Amino acid sequence: MKVKKTYAVFGLGRYGRAVARELVENGMEVVAVDTEQKIVNDAAAYLPVCKCADVTDPEVISRLGISNIDTVVVCMASNLEASVMAVTLCKEAGVKKIIAKCANEMHQKILLRVGADKVVFPENESGIRLAKNLLSSGFIDMISLSNDVSMIEINVRDEWRGKNLIELNLRKKYGFNIVAIKKGEKVNVNINPEQPLEEETTLIVIANTAKLGKIK
């Protein structure tokens, strides 16, 4: 039985609310946190676990059980000091994946230095898109082309290595339409279906969004 992943979202501005709401609507367990009681009260209408707390306080991080959370999304770009403290405390708590929203490239460097696994610029990646990428386990990135169709990048899995596309038949199994194969900076659109897939290779795929949940 597949274990459901758990998430925490720190900061419930427009971006944080979008991330948390998308995750909740897809059946995920989410702990949403903000320092403003009014924001928490409003968000509680659609976020089942919504807390008013200061996530720069180590005792709060402990009390919220953040050490048991799989992924924390820190959405406090307007307050670098708070973001840095939250990322640091989550790292110390042993959180497996920490994603932080940032305001500029300098903040990005700082947040990566203190332990963020990924830093996003809100003008480049919407909260809903980030949530969809989190929900799509194993995907590097996903872009919605329409309500029903998405383009995704997915790493070649261990069990796919050494096999070719004919053997794997990913189109039949997952509905994948493979449009390119990427290795390093090189992108090859002239795909040889008989060529065995190699390590550290990425598939660029167009697929029906509803079928992506079949990928385990």
Main-chain dihedrals φ then ψ at residue 25, nearest 5 degrees? -65, -15
Please give the span between the terminal C-alpha atoms of the chain, in angstroms, as a whole number.
Answer: 11
pLDDT at 141: 54
Q: Bridge-partner residues for 9, per DSSP?
A: 32, 73
Domain ranges of the chain: 6-135, 139-214
* Helical ranges in the chain per DSSP H: 14-25, 37-43, 58-63, 80-93, 105-113, 127-135, 165-168, 170-174
**By C-alpha distance, which of 112, 53, 59 is closest to 89?**
59
Q: What is the CATH number of domain 6-135?
A: 3.40.50.720
What superfamily in CATH does domain 139-214 come from?
A: Regulator of K+ conductance, C-terminal domain (3.30.70.1450)
- What is the Cβ-side half-sphere exposure of residue 18, based on CA atoms within 13 angstroms? 14
CB 180 within 8 A of CB 190: no
* Predicted model pTM: 0.64
DSSP assignment of 17-70, as one string? HHHHHHHHHTT-EEEEEES-HHHHHHHTTT-SSEEE--TTSHHHHHHTTGGG-S
In order along its 216 residues, the chain shows pLDDT tens digits of 445 789 999 999 999 999 999 899 888 999 999 999 999 999 999 999 999 999 999 999 999 999 999 999 999 988 989 999 999 999 999 999 999 998 888 888 899 998 899 888 875 556 666 666 666 555 545 565 666 777 777 888 888 889 999 998 888 888 788 888 888 778 787 888 899 988 878 888 887 766 665 555
